[in-house]
Amino acid sequence: MCFVALEAICDLLGPTIMARLINFGVQQNNTTLIYQYGALMLLVTAIGATFAITRSILASSISQKIGVNLRNELFTKIVNFSESSVDELSSGTLITRMTNDTNQVVQFINGLMRIFVKAPVVGIGCIVMASLLNLKLSIIIYLVVVIIALMLFFSLRLSYPRFSKLQLALDKLNAIVQEYLMGIRLIKAFGTYSEEGEKFNSANNHIKNSSIYASMIITFVTPLLNLIIGCAAVTAIYFGAQLFLNNQIKAGDISAFTIYMAQMLGSLLMITNIFNVFVRTQASATRIEEVFNCGTDFKETGTKQQLKGTIEFKNVDFYYPNGSGLLALENLNFKINKGEKLAIIGPTGSGKSTLVWLLLRFYDVNNGEILLDSQNVKKLNIFCLRQAIALAPQKALLFSGTVRENLYWGKPQASDKEIEKVLKVAQADFIYQMPDGLDSYLSSGSVNISGGQKQRISLARALLKDSPILILDDVTSALDAITEAKVRKALLKIENQTLIMITQKCSTAMFADKILVLENGRVQGFGSHRDLLRDCEIYQAIYQSQITNDLAGANL
């Protein structure tokens, strides 16, 4: 700010020195004064240039540091999003807000420090200096300032909602591109290139139309301002000439006044451009603020303790915050002790995965309570709770990097012996057949390995964590029957670890200590395989259908 102010002072001194050079040097043929004032003008210009370079370097440095901090805080906020916030804001809009909107704010801050502070200082300084030269002639400047101020006010009022719509259009385009890249194989398989192309072209044209619509006001305002400024300059010269003929002003003062007016009008144009950028920045800042206002995950407060793995659900009711309002789980009651193996089975949409999300506290129950080692999970430290649970999700998600780096998610710096042990349990020995073994690279989305291989690496990662509770969400769905049987046999040998298996297959569930049967979010049966075959009609129907299908397949 200091360098901007000093630069502005140097700019304001120039015309006054030039006026003295003309009035006392040129008009009086005083060569000595001409050289002195000329040298002084060069010196002031050089000092001003030094200040200008310094403030530009500082402004760029500061604005980029602000950008780094803003992106870091946004990323930290997104990482700590509550599940309802994740459901509310799509990844497409979050990417736009992290990149496009943040860059818009950074550019505005850079311009704010370089130009926006200087422009008012120069503008006000020019009005003061011009008024000191000739008060009558300065009335032109006052009128121009009032007219431009009114134009800026109405321009802002009309432009802001238009730029907000433009950012929404960018969100939509990003979402389409992201979906295309994620589903590119499916698109190729179904041959829907033209449909996706039409969808992209529609969103692209919408951005074009939104951009034209948003820029329409600015498009008219800028040339209109130039016209007003040009008319003002001509008017100032004309009235200045009249005053000069009447000996009410000196020639040097007219020159200085003309330069001051040009500087003042230039600063007004700068302010206009900054305000135009401000309209877009305001829209971007509002969208960034929406991210910061989203709910975060539960704070790391509460009791810190080593958890063992006894789980109990008591009268649990739950519905998704952004869902239909229907209960996803209703009056859920069951208990498993440390080291027991629980299989959860039921039709699609019965609430099997929802139960897991509640245990991990991605959501909180609406009624009832979930107890872990007789402690309500709400009273436990969230970090300790999640450290006590290892999860292998239904959709195996691996990150770009080596196999070893993906496994380290389970246990950082695990030894090769520990890794070898879990890979054997997960039947993921194929990794050692890959060219670089554990250091083989997995591309984005792990498209260079099969679905079954991804599931087995995901399972190995969860096993490596060696937590008191292990949750497997249908992790063998992509495996063949022989490999699945080997994985199941190895998992059943696990001791001192509470195992929850979500499955669709009775052949997997029947080996668990207890089986929980769900339908429409309600418990329909809880007990051993033998008990459920005797007492639970839904389990009997599932079992009979699978056995019948297996026999039919065998006959074929």
pLDDT in tens, 475-514: 887 788 888 888 888 888 888 899 999 988 888 888 889 9
What is 309-388+471-556's CATH number?
Answer: 3.40.50.300
CATH of domain 65-292: 1.20.1560.10
Work out the pLDDT band at 552, boundaries 50, 70, 90.
Answer: very low
Strand partners, 311: 336, 372
**pLDDT score at 511:** 86
Neighbours of 301 (CB within 10 A): 11
Separation between Cα atoms, residue 448 and residue 442, nearest integer Å: 7
Nearest in space to 214 (alpha carbons), one of 167, 272, 172: 167
Instruction: Classify each residue of 162-201 as buried b or exposed e, where b means 16 or more C-beta atoms within 10 Å of its C-beta.
Output: bbbebbbbbbbbbbbeebbeeeeeebeeeeeeeebeeeee
pTM of the predicted structure, to 2 decimals: 0.67
What contacts 126, CB < 8 A, 6 or more positions away? 12, 141, 260, 261, 263, 264, 267
Query: What are the pLDDT digits (tens) for 431-462?
Result: 988 888 899 888 777 777 888 889 899 999 99
- The percentage of the chain sitting over the pLDDT mark of 70, rounded to a whole number, equals 93
Chain mean pLDDT for the chain: 83
Asked whether residue 553 carries a pLDDT value surpassing 60, the answer given is no
C-alpha distance from residue 400 to each of 92, 440, 485 (Å): 19, 11, 29
Give the type of residue at 320. Y
Tell me the CB-side half-sphere exposure of residue 293, using CA atoms within 13 A: 6
**pLDDT tens digit sequence for 259-293:** 887 787 777 777 777 777 777 788 788 888 888 88
Q: Where in the chain is the domain with CATH 1.20.1560.10?
A: 65-292
**Looking at the chain, which residues constitute the CATH 3.40.50.300 domain(s)?**
309-388+471-556, 396-466
- What secondary structure does DSSP assign to 463-530, as a single string? HHH--SEEEEESTTTTS-HHHHHHHHHHHHT--SSEEEEE-S-HHHHTTSSEEEEEETTEEEEEE-HH
Average pLDDT, integer, range 463-470: 92
339-352 pLDDT, tens digit each: 999 999 988 888 88
Averaged over 383-406, what is the pLDDT? 88
Q: What is the DSSP string of 250-299?
A: -HHHHHHHHHHHHHHHHHHHHHHHHHHHHHHHHHHHHHHHHHHTSPBPPP
Query: Hey, what are 63's tokens?
Result: 């604005």
In whole angstroms, give the CA distance from residue 109 to residue 99.
15
> Residue 84 — very low, low, confident or very high, per pLDDT cuts 50/70/90?
low
Contact assessment for residue 424 and residue 486, using Cβ atoms and an 8 Å cutoff: no
pLDDT of residue 185: 62
Q: Find all residues with CB under 8 Å of 365, minimum gap 6, and list them.
A: 316, 317, 318, 358
**Of the candidates 71, 56, 61, which has an alpha carbon nearest to the alpha carbon of residue 7?**
56
298 — pLDDT class (breaks 50, 70, 90): low
Cβ burial of 453 (10 Å; 0-12, 13-18, 19+) is buried
Question: Which is nearest to 231 in space by CA: 320, 148, 115?
Answer: 148
What is the Cα–Cα distance from 484 to 474, expressed in whole angstroms?
A: 11
Model pLDDT, residue 43: 93
pLDDT class of 82 with cuts at 50, 70, 90: confident
**Residue range 228-247: mean pLDDT, rounded:** 82
Q: What is the 3-state secondary structure (H, E, C) of 310-354?
A: CEEEEEEEECCCCCCCCCCEEEEEEEECCCCEEEEECCCCCCHHH
CATH class assigned to 396-466: alpha beta
pLDDT of residue 551: 40
